[in-house]
Amino acid sequence: MMDFLHLLNQYVWGTRADRKLIRLGSTVRKINAVEAAFQKLTNEELTAKTGEFRSRISAGETPDQLLPEAFAAVKNACRRLYGTKLTVCGIETVWDMIPYDVQILAGIVLHRSGIAEMATGEGKTLAAAMPLYLNALCGKGAHLVTVNDYLALRDSEWIGGIFRFLGMTVGCIQTGQSPEERKAAYACDITYGMNSEFGFDYLRDNGMAMSREEMVQRDLHFAIIDEIDSVLIDEARVPLIIAGEEEVALDHYDRYKDLIGKLTDAQKRRIDNYLHDAAELLGRNPASEEGIRLLFLARLGMPRYRPLHKILEDSNLRVQLDRFEDRMRQTLAATQFSELKTNLYFVVDEKYRQIEMTSRGLEFFEHLHEDFFILPDLEKQVTAIRADETVPDPEKKKQIENARSAYRCKVETIHDFQQLMQAYCLFEKDVHYIVDSGKILIVDEHTGRALPGRRFSDGLHQALEAKEDVRLESENITYASITQQNYFRLYKKLAGMTGTASTEASEFYQTYKLEVTPIPTNRPVHRLLHCDQVFRTRREKFHAIAEETARRFEAGQPVLLGTPSVEDSETISRILRMQKIPHQVLNAKQNRQEAEIVACAGQKGKITVATNMAGRGTDIRLGPGVVEMGGLFVIGSSRHEARRIDLQLQGRCARQGDPGEAAFYVSLEDEFMRVYGPENAVRILAVDEGSSVSSKRLDSIIEKAQKKLEIHHYAIRKRTLEYDDAMNKHRAVIYALRRRIICEDGAEKVLDEILLRRADFWIASLSPENSEAVSRDTLSAMIFDETGIRIPESEWTKEESDTAEVIAGYLKTRFPVPPDESDEPDGAQRKTMLNSLLLRTIERVWVNHLNAMELLMDNIYLVSYGQKDPLVEYRKEAYVLFEELMDSIDEGVVTALFRSGPLSAHSGISDGESHIVRKNLKK
Ligand code: ADP
Ligand code: MG
C-alpha cells in the first residue's frame, strides 16, 4: 500500500483543497493508530464496540467525536474478515479489502456531508462503509443510494458482511418488493437501494398511505448518494411521478398526421430541388452565391438531412455557408432573411427545438383546413354576447360557455398540431427515442439508455406514437410527484461520491451546499490521453475508429468504444462486422446484462461497443497479459455536451494504477460540433486538407464550447428548480398535514381546525358593512348551502364565544356519527371513518391541484409574450392556486362530512386494489 500521507507532504504550497486534505490526514493517522490497538481485541470485544458506541451516543457524545473509533472498528472488521468467503449476487468471492488511507479520507469527507470525488475503480463502495456505520449508530438509519437495482443488491451483499460482523442489520430495497419487505429493509440500520425507489417510497408514504402501518420509511436521516452527479445533475430534470391514466381525445394526432406528412413531403421535395440546383451551380462555380443561398435554405428547412451533409463534406462550401449564415443573422439583414424564409414551408431551429411556420406553410395548411390557425377573439365574442339585448340572460350564459369551449378546443388543436410538427422535424428514431415492441421509449440523452415507463409530457409522446404508427396511449394524470433533487434535499444530512464532480462543483455547492473534495488516487495514474482527432465527416471518423480498433484487436489489446447514441453504436458495430472484428454491443435496447458485459471489457482481445455510461459503477479488471499491451483502450466516438460525461468514459481505463489509453474522435458533423460547435474550429480545419487534424489548440477550443454549454445547462436546471420551489412548498404543507392526521394529532383535532377555519371563511365572505341581522341570515343560508344544516336561533344567541366558534361547535354536534353513539369504547370506528374521510378529500383535492399546476407550467411561457417574467407570474398564479387548494380541502371535508349521508366504516375507502383516485378528476 502506498502511503498517501507521505504523498500529501508535497502539497504544502498547494491549493485550498490540498491543505484541507493535509488537515484530514491527521485524522487518518489517528484512525490508523486506534485500529492498530483494536487488533489486540478478541472478535467479541470488537463487536461489543457497536453497543458501546451506541450508548455513548445516547449519553451525549457526538458522531464527530466517535469518528476515529468507529472508522477504526470498520477497518479492523475488514482485516478480520480478510480471506473469508462471501456470496455476492450469486457468485462466491473472497473478501480481500482493507480500506486504504485514501478511502478512509473519502469516508471522512462523506461523514462531513461533502462530495468525495474519487476516480473510477478507487473503491468508493468500501469508502462509504465507514460513514454509514458511524451515522447508523444514531439509530435513525443510514441510506446508500445507487443508480440501479443491481448495484444496490451487489453492494449490500458485498459490504453488508462488515456491518453484520459488527452487529448491525443491513437491508436492500429492490424494485417490485412488497410493502412488508420494504418496511423490513428500512427498519435495518443500513439500507441500500436505487435512487428512484427511495423517492417512490417517500411519495407512497406521504401522499397515499392511509395509516401509519402502511408507511415503510423512517426518518430521512443520512444518505450517501453513489454516482451523485448522475442522480442530481443528469436526472435532476426527471421527476418521479406516480400516475394513472386519464382519457383524452387522441383523434387529433391521427387526424393531422397525414396532413403533416404531406407538409413535410412538400418541404422535402423543395429542398431536394434546391440541393440539386445548388450542386449544379456550385459544380460550375464553387463560389456561386446562389448555390450557397440554396444550401442555406436546405439547412434552415431540414438541418439533419443526410444529402445536405453529403454536399457539406466539402469544407470550402461549409465555410462559405457559415459565412452566409452569419451575414443573414445580422440585424441589418433581417428583412432579407425573413424574405428568404418564405421559400420554405417551415424553418427548423435545432438549438432551441423550435419550428417556425412560414406564411407559405400556413397557406399550405389552410388550403386543406380553412382557418386552421386562426384563434377566435374570445373577449370580443363574449362582449358581443353580453351586449346583445335580444338574448335572455340564461341563454347568454350558455352562449358564452359555448364560445369558451370552442376556443379551448381550438387551442388544443393547435397545440396538438405543434407537437406533431416537433415529432416529425426534431425527433429522430434511434437517437431521441426507440421503438420497442409497439412502444416509444425515450432514450436518455446522457447515457443513451432507454427509459421504459417514462413518457415525454404535454402530448409529445402521443405525437411520436402517431408518427411511428404505434398504439396511442392516453395522457397520464399525476397522483404524486417529486423531483430527485427535492427528495434528496429532505435528508437531514446528505453526502455523495463520484468520479466526476469538479466540473459541476459550484452547482453542487449552490444548490445542495455540498462541497466537492477531490481525493488523491491510491496509486499514481498511468493514463495516456491522446489529443482529439477531428475529422470532417462522420463517415471518415467512423472508418478511422474501426481502423484503430482493428489495429488494437490484432495486437490483442481490449478496446471500449463509447458512443453518445444507440444510432452511433449501431453504425460502429456495422462497420466492425464488415471488417469481421468480433465485438459486443451494449446499448439501450438490452441493458439487463450490462454490468456483466462491461465487467469483461478488460479481457484480452475484447472489443466492447457501449453507449456512454452503460454499466456505470461496474469495475473493469484487466485480464492476464493486458497490462503489457498498455491496458484498456477507450475510444469516445464524439465529444459530449458535458465534460463530465467524457471524463467518466475515459475514467473507465487506467484504474488503480493500471496502464490505459483514451482518445476521442470528433467530426464536424457530430451533433455537438454542428449545433454548438466552435466555428473557429471549422476555419482552422478548412486550412488543413488532411483527413484528420488534432492539436492542443483544437482541444481547448472544444473544451471551451463544452464549458459554455455546461453553464447554459446549469442555468436551465437552476430555473427549473426555481419553478419547482412553489410546488415543493405546497407538497411540504400537504404532506405535513397528512402526517399530522396519520401519525401525530389525529383526525379529530385536524377536523376541529377545519370546521373553525371554514366558519371563519363563511364569516369573512360576508362584507363587513352589512348589519348584524342581514349577515346572520346570509350566513345561515351559506352554511345551509354547504352542509344542509340550519343553525337554530337558540345557538346564535349564546353570548360567551365568538361566531365562528358557535358555528363550528354546533356543526360538531351534528356529525353523522356523534361521539357518544360510536359502538366501541375507544371510538376506533369513528376514528377510522374520520381518518379516511380526511385523507380521501385531501388526496382528491391535491391531485387536482397537481394537475392544475402542471397546466399552469405548460402555459406560463405564454406570458413572456406580454413582456412579463414568467417566473414571477408563475409564482403569483401558483400562490393563488395554493390558497384555493387549502380552501378546497376545508370545503371538501365539510361537504363530504355532512352531505354524503351517514358514514359507514367503509365509506370513502376504495376497493383495495389501489389507492389511486380514478380518472376524470380534471373538470
Ligand atoms: P468505484 O466505485 O470507486 O469505481 P469499486 O468500489 O467498484 O470502485 O471498487 C473497485 C475495485 O477495487 C473492486 O474490485 C474492489 O475489490 C477493489 N478494491 C477497493 N478497495 C480495495 C482495497 N482497500 N483493497 C483491495 N481492493 C480494493
Ligand atoms: Mg462505484
Give the mean pLDDT of 561-588.
89
Q: Is the pLDDT of residue 526 over 80?
A: yes
- Res. 772 pLDDT band, cuts 50 70 90: low
| pLDDT value, residue 921 | 27
Model-level pTM? 0.77
pLDDT digits (tens, 9 = 90+) for 176-187: 999 999 999 999
The rounded percent of the chain whose pLDDT value lies above 70 is: 87
User: What is the number of the ligand 1 atom nearest to the C-alpha of 125?
Assistant: 6
Residue of minimum CA distance from atom 22 in ligand 1: 97
| pLDDT value, residue 904 | 39
Asked if 282 and 317 touch (Cβ cutoff 8 Å), the reply is yes
Residues having CB closer than 6 A to ligand 1 are: 96-100, 103, 118, 120-126, 619
Ligand nearest to the CA of 120: 1
Burial class of residue 923 (count of CB atoms within 10 Å of its CB; 0-12, 13-18, 19+): exposed
Q: How far is the CA of 118 from the centre of ligand 2 (A)?
A: 9
Residue 666's nearest CA partner among 687, 693, 629 is: 693
Q: Which residue has the higher pLDDT, 80 or 566?
A: 80
pLDDT digits (tens, 9 = 90+) for 640-665: 988 999 999 999 999 999 999 999 99
Q: How far apart (Å, rounded) are the C-alpha atoms in residues 288 and 329?
A: 20
Q: Which residue has the higher pLDDT, 911 or 844?
A: 844
Residue of minimum CA distance from atom 20 in ligand 1: 123
Q: How far is the CA of 528 from the centre of ligand 1 (A)?
A: 22
Ligand nearest to the CA of 148: 2
Asked if 127 and 106 touch (Cβ cutoff 8 Å), the reply is yes
Q: Ligand 1 pocket check: which of 122, 157, 227, 230 to mutate, most ligand atoms within 8 Å of Cβ?
A: 122
| pLDDT value, residue 683 | 60
Ligand nearest to the CA of 128: 1
Q: How far is the CA of 545 from the centre of ligand 1 (A)?
A: 31
Beta strands in 519-677 (DSSP E): 526-529, 533-535, 559-563, 584-586, 607-611, 632-636, 659-667
Asked if 21 and 11 touch (Cβ cutoff 8 Å), the reply is yes
DSSP H or E stretch at residue 153: helix 149-165
Q: How far is the CA of 47 from the centre of ligand 1 (A)?
A: 24
Q: For all residues of the chain together, what is the average pLDDT?
A: 85
Q: Greatest CA separation found in the chain?
A: 103
Q: How far apart (Å, rounded) are the C-alpha atoms in residues 57 and 190?
A: 17
Residue 463's nearest CA partner among 271, 179, 252 is: 252
Q: How far apart (Å, rounded) are the C-alpha atoms in residues 213 and 190?
A: 21
pLDDT digits (tens, 9 = 90+) for 203-233: 999 988 888 899 999 999 999 999 999 899 9
User: Following DSSP, what letter does each residue of 241-258 receive, concatenated?
Assistant: EEEEE-----HHHHHHHH
Ligand nearest to the CA of 121: 1
DSSP state of 219: -
Q: How far is the CA of 104 from the centre of ligand 2 (A)?
A: 16
Q: Ligand 1 pocket check: which of 35, 125, 159 to mutate, most ligand atoms within 8 Å of Cβ?
A: 125
Q: How far is the CA of 149 from the centre of ligand 2 (A)?
A: 13
Q: How far is the CA of 497 from the centre of ligand 2 (A)?
A: 9
- How big is the chain, counted in residues? 923
Sign of the CA dihedral 295, 299, 302, 306? positive
Place of cell 482552422: 684
Q: By three-state DSSP, how is residue 476 classified? A: strand
Q: How far is the CA of 410 from the centre of ligand 2 (A)?
A: 52
Q: How far apart (Å, rounded) are the C-alpha atoms in residues 854 and 874?
A: 11
Give the mean pLDDT of 475-493.
85
Q: Ligand 1 pocket check: which of 126, 130, 600, 616 to mutate, most ligand atoms within 8 Å of Cβ?
A: 126
Asked if 141 and 222 touch (Cβ cutoff 8 Å), the reply is yes
Asked if 632 and 601 touch (Cβ cutoff 8 Å), the reply is yes
